[in-house]
Chains A and B, each alone.
Chain A
């Protein structure tokens, strides 16, 4: 079982790359093999609690802007992930690049876009 995982991972990456070549872009896969369940839980917790410190636990906004699916729908998710990594100069939004990889930032954006934080579905990083 263990030895098959890298193969499987390779297949998923290839598949993702193949889909990426054409339009539209693939719907993000939250179970990317390179991210462990423990890391996902940690990122989910970070999203709710650390992002939530400024954006609200329910992402309805605070000192930072609301991060609800309807507000993010029209925006390029990769650009949003880039914004998370770089921060917004002149505002309290810090650059998260020292603490997050690009994939991790993108995964967090996907959670927000899909509204997984709603009604505590991702609360404390626990997944359904």
Chain B
């Protein structure tokens, strides 16, 4: 710690000496020696290259690239509470801790064979990863990435003596208040709450029979409700984390009303802010609809017909707009929904392979990754005009450090 402090002092001194011509300082690219905050930084995943770009959203520019992060298909990231480090979760089970200021990988562990994202605890001390292989959750110390806890997702009745119980793929791993992690077991149809108040001895509470094939989940911005989407049936499972004794309830049950669903070419993603004006906006599975639920009564209050099967349904941080992207064959489009009128306000055509969207912290701009054009497009959310583009190699997830201070992201 002392060493780090003296390093920082040294850097600061170097900065003061080096920055005398102030203009040249501001014009220079970021370096380890440049003193700066991280509140306007983020990463863009270049998934085929196994690399992330470190970006800055104040001036809409790329600062650096960080390589060697493995298979980044479906990669996601969370941030340390000081918003300096990104924890990048790779498909191949790699967990990488990236320093945004020095643009280096400070630590990397190969913690499983196959993974699907993770979360950081509310106190910032623990990073948890959802694993497909071996099915379960592994928890690491956020500083050192040393293993802290292992929670195998075993389910079903105990087999014969010595026979191992099956392990489920884990999805929808979210942080919740109380240093809890909440996640779903895809193969088992269960939701588990793991309380890591004592990291060495996680207390796990299991909810069984929550519905078939939960595929992803979200925690509402207030940290109160955990919502798992079900692939195997029309409906969602909701757990009130203030009242877990009440168990899991089903909402939007049978929203397809027996209609034949369309083929699903890309699983929707729930983790985002589909929460606005007291309502939750959710992607329907196998239909061209965004479902709208009252967040108090959990009754359906509307449906919005959209251009394709929604993948991400994300509210602008102020909740005035919802931005939606789509699965194949409509993945060249983005639609903007008007929240008060529950109507489509605009249809944009960023290009083929729109994979993700990320709002700036207050939402005046949104960054959109367009995989097949190797481009990130940046829109002004007021005028809906494109204000800039950045080149990127097959960009997918975009994550800004504002997530560090949000529950469930």
When chains A and B are docked, how far (Å) is the Cα of A46 from the Cα of B265? 11
User: Which 10 residue pairs are nearest across A and B when measured between Cβ atoms?
Assistant: A94-B263, A57-B73, A52-B73, A95-B263, A57-B71, A58-B71, A94-B264, A56-B91, A94-B265, A56-B73
Query: In the complex, which of the residues A90, A92, A99, A124 contacts B264, with contact meaning CB atoms closer than 8 Å?
Result: A92
Point out which of A54, A56, A63 has the most chain B C-beta atoms below 10 A from its C-beta: A63
When chains A and B are docked, how far (Å) is the Cα of A98 from the Cα of B186? 27
When chains A and B are docked, how far (Å) is the Cα of A123 from the Cα of B353? 15
Whether B263 pairs with A87 at a CB distance below 8 angstroms is yes
Q: Interface residues of A toward B: which range?
A: 20 to 34
Q: How would residues 56 to 79 of chain A score, 1 for a CB under 8 Å from any chain B CB and 0 otherwise?
A: 111011110000000000000000
Report if B303 contacts A (CB, 8 A): no
CB A99 to nearest CB in B, in angstroms, measures 6
Whether B215 pairs with A92 at a CB distance below 8 angstroms is yes
When chains A and B are docked, how far (Å) is the Cα of A90 from the Cα of B92? 26
Q: Mark out the residues of chain B between 238 and 272 whose CB falls within 8 Å of any chain A CB in the assembled complex.
A: 263-267
Report if A48 contacts B (CB, 8 A): yes
Instruction: Identify 14 new A-B residue pairs, CB closer than 8 A, beyond the known A49-B394, A58-B73, A62-B116.
Output: A45-B372, A48-B48, A56-B71, A56-B92, A57-B48, A60-B113, A60-B114, A62-B114, A63-B169, A90-B232, A92-B215, A96-B265, A120-B48, A123-B48
Whether B74 pairs with A62 at a CB distance below 8 angstroms is yes
User: What B residues does A98 contact at CB under 8 A?
Assistant: 263
CB B172 to nearest CB in A, in angstroms, measures 12
Could you tell me which B residues sit within 8 Å of A by CB distance?
47-48, 71-74, 91-92, 113-114, 116, 132-133, 169, 186, 213, 215, 231-232, 263-267, 328-329, 353, 371-372, 394
Report if A111 contacts B (CB, 8 A): no
Report if A103 contacts B (CB, 8 A): no
User: What A residues does B231 contact at CB under 8 A?
Assistant: 92
User: What A residues does B132 contact at CB under 8 A?
Assistant: 61-63
User: What B residues does A99 contact at CB under 8 A?
Assistant: 265, 328-329
CB A66 to nearest CB in B, in angstroms, measures 9
Closest residue on chain B to residue A98 by CB atoms? B263
CB-based A-B contact count at 8 angstroms: 70
User: What B residues does A57 contact at CB under 8 A?
Assistant: 47-48, 71-73, 91
Closest residue on chain A to residue B264 by CB atoms? A94
Closest residue on chain A to residue B265 by CB atoms? A94
When chains A and B are docked, how far (Å) is the Cα of A92 from the Cα of B394? 24
Could you tell me which A residues sit within 8 Å of B by CB distance?
45, 48-50, 52-54, 56-58, 60-63, 87, 90, 92, 94-96, 98-99, 120, 123-124
Query: In the complex, which of the residues B48, B72, B92, B328 contacts A60, with contact meaning CB atoms closer than 8 Å?
Result: B92
User: What B residues does A90 contact at CB under 8 A?
Assistant: 232
Whether A58 pairs with B92 at a CB distance below 8 angstroms is yes
Query: In the complex, which of the residues B48, B73, B265 contacts A124, with contact meaning CB atoms closer than 8 Å?
Result: B48
When chains A and B are docked, how far (Å) is the Cα of A96 from the Cα of B80? 41
CB A21 to nearest CB in B, in angstroms, measures 35
User: What B residues does A60 contact at CB under 8 A?
Assistant: 71, 92, 113-114
CB B144 to nearest CB in A, in angstroms, measures 28
User: What A residues does B48 contact at CB under 8 A?
Assistant: 48-49, 57, 120, 123-124
When chains A and B are docked, how far (Å) is the Cα of A54 from the Cα of B394? 17
When chains A and B are docked, how far (Å) is the Cα of A33 from the Cα of B34? 57
User: What B residues does A92 contact at CB under 8 A?
Assistant: 213, 215, 231, 264, 267
Point out which of B213, B265, B372 has the most chain A C-beta atoms below 10 A from its C-beta: B265
Whether B353 pairs with A49 at a CB distance below 8 angstroms is yes
User: What B residues does A56 contact at CB under 8 A?
Assistant: 71, 73, 91-92, 114
User: What A residues does B116 contact at CB under 8 A?
Assistant: 62-63
When chains A and B are docked, how far (Å) is the Cα of A60 from the Cα of B92? 8
When chains A and B are docked, how far (Å) is the Cα of A90 from the Cα of B95? 32
A-B contact pairs, 18 of them (CB 8 A): A49-B353, A50-B328, A52-B73, A56-B73, A56-B91, A56-B114, A57-B47, A58-B71, A60-B71, A60-B113, A62-B114, A95-B263, A96-B263, A98-B263, A99-B329, A123-B48, A124-B48, A124-B394
When chains A and B are docked, how far (Å) is the Cα of A65 from the Cα of B353? 23
Query: In the complex, which of the residues B113, B213, B266, B329 contacts A53, with contact meaning CB atoms closer than 8 Å?
Result: B266
User: What A residues does B394 contact at CB under 8 A?
Assistant: 49, 124
User: What A residues does B265 contact at CB under 8 A?
Assistant: 50, 94, 96, 99
CB A63 to nearest CB in B, in angstroms, measures 7
When chains A and B are docked, how far (Å) is the Cα of A67 from the Cα of B264? 20
CB A109 to nearest CB in B, in angstroms, measures 18
When chains A and B are docked, how far (Å) is the Cα of A113 from the Cα of B195? 45
Closest residue on chain B to residue A52 by CB atoms? B73
Known: A60-B71, A63-B169, A94-B263. A49 touches B328 (CB 8 A): no
When chains A and B are docked, how far (Å) is the Cα of A58 from the Cα of B47? 11
Whether B74 pairs with A53 at a CB distance below 8 angstroms is yes
